[in-house]
A and B are shown apart, each in its own frame.
Chain A
Amino acid sequence: MMGGTRPEIHQFLPVLDAGDAIGNEAKQLQRLLRDAGYVSEMYVWRAGKGQKRYCRHYSRHRARSAPGNVMVYHFSVCCPITAYFASAPDRKVMRYHNITPASFFAGIAEEVYYITKKGRRELAQLANVVELALPVSDYNGRELRESGYRAVETAPLVVDYDAFAAAPDASVLRRYDDGWTNLLFVGRLSPNKKQEDLIRMFYHYKRINPRSRLFLVGAARQVPRYREVLGTLVERLGLSDVVITGGVSHAALVAYYKLASAFVCMSEHEGFCVPLVEAMRFDVPVVAYDSSAVADTLGGTGVLVREKRHEAIAELVHCLVEDTALREEIVAKQRRRVEEYAYASTSTGFIEAMTAFIEERQ
C-alpha cells in the first residue's frame, strides 16, 4: 500500500483503444475511483493510437504492487497481463466482459481464433486467484460461476450515455437526412455479430421499401476477411444502399443514431452490447436476435427475435417503422429501461461493490 492506509486501485486491460467499450468504461472507472479518493492508474499491454497519455505499460505496475492494493483486470481476451496478474501479491478483482467463442473465427481469422481460444483457458486458470468477479451482465456471471468463480456480483457496464447529447456530425446528416428509412447496426465487423444476417434481412426489406438503406457502423480492422465476405455478399444480392462506414467519430456516431428508423441486431454473441442501450437512449426502436446477453440488456423491452427468418424479420421491421403507435409503445418501454443504466446508478453500484470488497478485509 502506498500513500497512507487507503489501498490503491489500479486497472489492467489488454488494449486501450479510442471508442472501444471496455476502454471507455476503464476511463470512467478511473475518474470514479479518483473522485472517491483512491490512487488509480490504468495499465495496458498495448495502447492504441492517441491513448498513451491515459495509461502505462503493465510492466511499470511492479513498483506500485503491494499486498493491500487492488488490481482490477478487465478480461475479454488472452493477454500477457494474465500471468502477471496471477502472480502479483495484490488483491484481485476481475471485470468480466466475456470472450467471444473461438468457433466464430474458425476459417476466417486465425489470430482472433487463438486469442479467444487461449482466453477461455486463461479464464479458467484465474478462477482460483480472483477474490471478486464483477461481470457486466448476468449472462457473463453465469459463465463465471460455471468456470468455478465463487464471489460473483453483476455490475452493469458503467457508460456515460449523456455523452451522446453531443452535436451530431453535420456532414453525415447532410448526406443522409433525405426522408429515406435508415436501418442501423453499430458494432465492429465480426463473424459473431453476424452482419451477414443483417444484409440478408435487408435484401428482403429493400423489396418492401426501396427508399431505404442499411448502415453498418463499426471498425473492420480486426477481421479483414469478414469485411471482404460482406462486400461480396452485398454484390451477389445486388444491393445498392448498404453503407459500411468503418470506424467513425463520436459526432458521426451520434448522427447515425439520429438518422436511424430502427436498430437491428442479429449478433449471436454479446457480453453486454452497449449499442443496444445507446439506440434506446436515442428512442430508436430495437429489433434484436435473442442470444447471449442481449435479452438481459434489453430487459423485456424492444423486440426480441427467436428465429433468423430474414424475410419475416424484414416484415417485422417494416411494421415497426410504419406503425407509429407500435413504435411509440416500444420506445416508451425502452426509455424506462435506459434509466436503469443511468450513469449515476451504474457508477454508484460499482463503487459500492469495490468499497464493500475493501472494507471486508479491513
Chain B
Amino acid sequence: MSFFDADIGARRKAELEATIAERMAQRRADGGDPSAEERRRIGDLLDYGRTTFEEITYDLYNARKFVRMFPDEAEASGGPIGWIKRFYQRVVRRVLRQQIVYNEAVLGVLEDLDERVKKLEANAGVEANAGVEDGPGRE
C-alpha cells in the first residue's frame, strides 16, 4: 500500500510514487542515508512524553487553577478595573501562588518523613518479632 492517497487517478499516482522512490534512491546514493543522520541529531529530544502526572492531586491542580484565574474572573464579572485594584489583584495572586509553592514543598517534605517513619516502624517490627521468635525465654 502506498504511503499517500490522492484523487489523481491510479496511473498518475503510480507515476508519482515511482518518481519519489527514484529520487530518494538517487539522493541516498549521492549523500548517504539522511534519515539515519536526522535520527542521530535528534537523539532523545522528542521522548518528552514518558512522564505522567498521576501523582498530583486534583485539589492541588484546582488550587493552581484558582490562582491563575483569580483576576480574570473578577474582571469578567464586572466593568473596567482601576489600576489600584489591578495592582492589588496582582499582589494577591503572587502571594497565593507562593503560598501554594510553599505548601507543596512542605507537603513533599512531610511525605518523605512519613515514608521514613513507616520504613523505620516496619524495620523495628521485624526486629521486635525477631526478638520474640529467637530471644531467650522462648519455649
Within 8 A of B (CB), among A292-330: 300-307, 309-313, 315-316, 318-319, 326, 329-330
Q: Which residues of chain B have C-beta atoms less than 8 A from A309's C-beta?
A: 3
B134 at interface, CB cutoff 8 A: no
Tally of B interface residues using CB under 8 Å: 41
Q: Cβ of A114 < 8 Å from any Cβ of B?
A: yes
In the bound complex, residues from chain A placing their C-beta under 8 Å from that of B65 are 111
A361 at the interface (CB under 8 A from B): no
Q: Is A96 an interface residue (CB 8 A)?
A: no
Q: Which residue of the partner chain, among A104, A113, A236, A315, contacts B24 with CB atoms under 8 Å? A: A315
Q: In whole angstroms, what is the CA distance A354 to B19 when docked?
A: 50
| Contact, CB under 8 Å: A300 / B72 | no
Min CB gap B54→A, angstroms: 9
Inter-chain contact A207/B34, CB cutoff 8 Å: yes
Residue A134 CB within 8 A of the other chain: no
Asked if B84 is at the interface (CB within 8 A of a chain A CB), the reply is no
Contact status of A108 and B46, CB under 8 A, knowing A303-B4, A306-B5, A312-B24: no
Which partner residue on chain A sits nearest B20 by CB separation? A315
A interface secondary structure, majority: helix
Is A44's beta carbon under 8 Å from chain B?
yes
The closest CB in chain B to the CB of A288 belongs to: B4
A336 CB to nearest B CB, Å: 11
Are B52 and A316 in contact (CB-based, < 8 A)? no
Find out whether the CB atom of A329 lies under 8 angstroms from the CB atom of B8: yes
Chain A residues lying within 8 Å of B69, measured Cβ to Cβ, are 45-46
A159 within 8 A of B: no
Which residues, 33 to 57 on B, are CB-close (under 8 Å) to A?
34-35, 38, 41-43, 45-46, 48-53, 56
Q: Is A200 positioned at the interface, with any CB of B under 8 Å from its CB?
A: yes
Residues of chain A contacted by B31 (CB below 8 angstroms)? 207
**Which B residues are CB-close (under 8 A) to A329?**
8
Evaluate contact between A52 and B76: CB separation under 8 angstroms.
yes
Q: List 19 A-B contacts (CB under 8 A).
A: A45-B69, A52-B75, A57-B76, A59-B77, A106-B52, A200-B42, A208-B23, A236-B41, A238-B41, A290-B5, A305-B3, A306-B4, A310-B35, A310-B38, A311-B35, A315-B19, A315-B23, A315-B24, A330-B6
The 10 A-B residue pairs whose C-beta atoms are closest, nearest first, are A107-B51, A57-B77, A57-B76, A307-B3, A315-B20, A303-B6, A304-B5, A107-B49, A106-B52, A46-B72
